[in-house]
Amino acid sequence: MTALAAAPPPRLLACEAFPDPRLPAVSPATMDGPTFDYVASMQMPFEQLRHAAGQIAGVLVLATVTRQGTAGHPMLDLADTARREASEAIGTCRPPPPGEHHHRHLSLAAREIAAALDAARRMLRGGDDAALDTVLVPLRAGYRELQWAAGALPGFEVVAFSQGCCARHTQASAPPQSGRMIV
């Protein structure tokens, strides 16, 4: 978990729900008690959704590399358990007004990750590209929602895969035969 005191300075929000980048994010200095409690209560669901997305991505990598069916892979069960627990916590939480934007993105992330899980269980029977894309589209959407949630309140972080070390190596080498990156 990320300590609130170590949160970066307030960022500007820019997403489909609030496209106006002039809307400032809530900062630790302006956070009231109910918002602080909300942030603390949503740490675990946020992490569970992030882990579920990572597990689905791992199964997609396995399906891509082996070209074999991975629809029944145990990682999908782990991802589903984490996603269900997160969805329950998110669904029963009533955020304070400063947390509503964050809560909306968490709810949408849970929905998209659930769609990716459903698609993985239905479609990853072989290794065809159309099946992989059917899982990848909602997975990317769910991860994007997690990124927007991370920008809405301090204390939540996601890794931007496009900024990581591996992304630089991938860009320097030849693209995979299918020409697509997993996440």
**30 token code pair:** 């302006």
Whole-angstrom Cα distance, residue 53 to residue 112?
A: 10
For residue 7, tell me if it sits in a domain: no
Domain enclosing residue 101, as ranges: 36-172
For residue 6, tell me if it sits in a domain: no
- How many structural domains comprise the chain? 1
For residue 147, tell me if it sits in a domain: yes
pTM for the structure as a whole: 0.74
Counting residues of the chain whose pLDDT is more than 70, the rounded percentage is: 69
For residue 146, tell me if it sits in a domain: yes
Whole-angstrom Cα distance, residue 111 to residue 118?
A: 11
For residue 31, tell me if it sits in a domain: no
For residue 78, tell me if it sits in a domain: yes
CATH number of domain containing 128: 1.20.120
Per residue of the chain (183 residues), what is the pLDDT tens digit?
344 444 443 444 456 555 444 445 566 777 788 988 999 999 999 999 999 999 999 988 888 887 777 778 888 999 999 999 999 999 999 999 889 989 999 999 999 999 999 998 888 776 667 778 889 999 999 999 999 998 888 778 776 555 555 445 445 544 444 333 344
For residue 75, tell me if it sits in a domain: yes
For residue 180, tell me if it sits in a domain: no
Instruction: Give the count of alpha carbons within 13 A of 119, CB side only.
Output: 21
- So what's the pLDDT on residue 137? 94
Taking every pair of Cα atoms in the chain, the longest distance, rounded to a whole number of angstroms, is 52
The three-state DSSP-derived secondary structure of the chain is CCCHHHCCCCCECCCCCCCCCCCECCCHHHCCHHHHHHHHHHHHHHHHHHHHHHHHHHHHHHHHHHCCCCCCCHHHHHHHHHHHHHHHHHHHCCCCHHHHHHHHHHHHHHHHHHHHHHHHHHHCCCCCHHHHHHHHHHHHHHHHHHHHHHHHCCCCCCCCHHHCHHHHHHHHCCCCCCCCCCC
